Structure 1
């Protein structure tokens, strides 16, 4: 649901969530800035929640590489305490989806472990 009219609903879906999956058309350069703004907004509204960026359409010519996507989306702006991963993917054939979800799971487990350790220190 990336359409403008559906975005206000995102808040109700992301409240109290353990992880965010952000699907990106890695070929559509015209919407990269819009994607960057929306991703940073959602990530900041859900402070510390791990983010998986599925860089879709990697099978097409002109698809951006994960490092370029990290740069274009400004993922480093999220700060050191925010876990994120860019996974190249091709949704049509399912390539990269399992690896991406596994990375998200690992980030969620890591975040919960760190929160538990921080709680013990108090």
Structure 2
């Protein structure tokens, strides 16, 4: 009788790893971003043929750390139909776009809207990382945001765009902190909705 544990509260964000999927067009810098987060340095990588999975610990303000279980899925056209299976029950989506490759932003916009507006991803927070901001020909973040049509996304989708660089690490910490805030906000909304029903 003395071995019974008190039931755990239903919401303990600091104990569990949050499931996050990183997608975007091929050559946007998804894997380089993942490894910069993991090793705190730039790692040149080959195109991803399937997926990579890493656990990443991100320090937050106030000496807390959050663990993300990150799935980085290849972005070649033939692999994009697989994105859906990685997104089942995901806590957040990171969509990486190459800010310096203006001619592919329309293609990126189509894929981003397809993900966000699909019924199974309703309400899942989306962090858009406008990568390669360290390059001279990179568009400013506000321009990338406009071309991706972020303001047109489904109203239920929490989203944020962050300029970043997989080479220097610029913007990555801020982006993940924002993603964590959006995930917490969504979990709270879901919890409150459950209480009402």
Write 1 or 2 for the structure with the bigger share of helix.
1
Q: TM-score, normalised by structure 2?
A: 0.59
Gaps of 5+ in 1: none
Q: 2:94·2:128 contact (CA, 8 Å) conserved in 1?
A: yes
In the alignment, what sits opposite 2:16? Answer: none
Q: Say what the alpha-carbon RMSD is for the aligned residues.
A: 1.1
Whole-Å separation in 2 of the counterparts to 1:94 and 1:108: 22
Whole-Å separation in 2 of the counterparts to 1:102 and 1:38: 24
Whole-Å separation in 1 of the counterparts to 2:143 and 2:190: 31
Whole-Å separation in 1 of the counterparts to 2:140 and 2:187: 30
Q: Which has the larger radius of gyration?
A: 2
Correspondent of 1:74 among 132, 142, 149: 149
In the alignment, what sits opposite 1:117? Answer: 192
Matched length: 122
Whole-Å separation in 1 of the counterparts to 2:127 and 2:178: 8
In the alignment, what sits opposite 1:92? Answer: 167
Gaps of 5+ in 2: 1-73
Matches within 5 A, 1:45-64: 45=118, 46-64=121-139
Per-residue Cα deviation, 1:3-59 (whole angstroms, up to 9, x for no partner):
111111101111111100111000101100000000000111211100011100001
Choose between structure 1 and 2 for higher RCO, CA contacts under 8 A separated by at least 6 residues: 1
Q: Stretches of 4+ moved more than 3 A in 1? A: none
Per-residue Cα deviation, 1:57-111 (whole angstroms, up to 9, x for no partner):
0011131222222211111122332100101000012111111111111100001
Write 1 or 2 for the structure with the bigger share of strand.
2
Q: TM-score, normalised by structure 1?
A: 0.93
